């Protein structure tokens, strides 16, 4: 019976691997939208008001936040005509990551089965 369980897991990981989408567009990071301040003197969007409060700034603009290692984050402004491509890339990355985690879980189970013999 132990062998059946192994075969089952091997079939399962094959099915998962076949569902793996094309990784060529994968993009890691997260997309956010926020206001930016240009800090140009006299800018009517950014200049401080009478109460010393900063103006509302420009935007909102789209920012791609990417981990650059060592806890550093790169923030890349994304023009609106590229936003959809970026979103698709992020989605693709997440999809692949999710499938990889599933494959890894199956392989862990398989490892446990192999230890039993
Ligand atoms: Zn400004």
Q: How does pLDDT run across 17-74, given as a tens digit for each residue?
A: 999 999 999 999 999 999 988 878 889 899 887 777 888 899 899 999 999 999 999 9
Question: How far does the centroid of ligand 1 lie from the alpha carbon of residue 56, in Å?
Answer: 9
What mean pLDDT do residues 68-93 have? 95
78 C-alpha to ligand 1 centroid (Å)? 18
Question: Residue 20 carries which DSSP code?
Answer: P
Q: What percent of the chain has pLDDT over 70?
A: 97
Task: State in Å: Cα 39 to ligand 1 middle.
Answer: 6
Between the CA of 35 and the centroid of ligand 1 the distance, in Å, is 10
**Contact call for residues 85 and 107 (beta carbons, < 8 A):** no
The confidence score (pLDDT) of residue 2 equals: 53
Omega prior to 60 cis, within 30 of 0: yes
pLDDT value for 20:
96
For residue 83, the CA-to-ligand 1 centroid distance in Å is 22
Q: Is the pLDDT score of 96 beyond 70?
A: yes
pTM: 0.78
* CA 57 – CA 108 distance, rounded (Å): 51
How far apart are the CA of 36 and the centre of ligand 1, in A? 8
Calculate the average pLDDT of the chain.
92
The distance between the two most distant Cα atoms of the chain, rounded to a whole number of Å, is 79
């Amino acid at each position: 019976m132990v062998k059946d369980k192994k075969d089952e897991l091997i079939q399962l990981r094959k099915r998962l691997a076949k569902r793996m989408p094309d990784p060529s567009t994968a993009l890691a990071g997260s997309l956010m939208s926020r206001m930016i301040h240009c800090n140009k003197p006299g800018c009517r969007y950014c200049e401080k008001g009478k109460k010393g409060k900063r103006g509302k700034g420009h935007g909102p603009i789209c920012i791609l936040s990417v981990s650059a290692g060592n806890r550093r984050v790169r923030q890349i402004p994304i023009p609106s005509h590229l936003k959809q491509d970026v979103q698709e890339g992020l989605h693709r990355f997440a999809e692949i990551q999710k499938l990889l985690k599933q494959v890894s879980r199956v392989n862990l189970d398989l490892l446990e089965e192999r230890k039993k013999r």
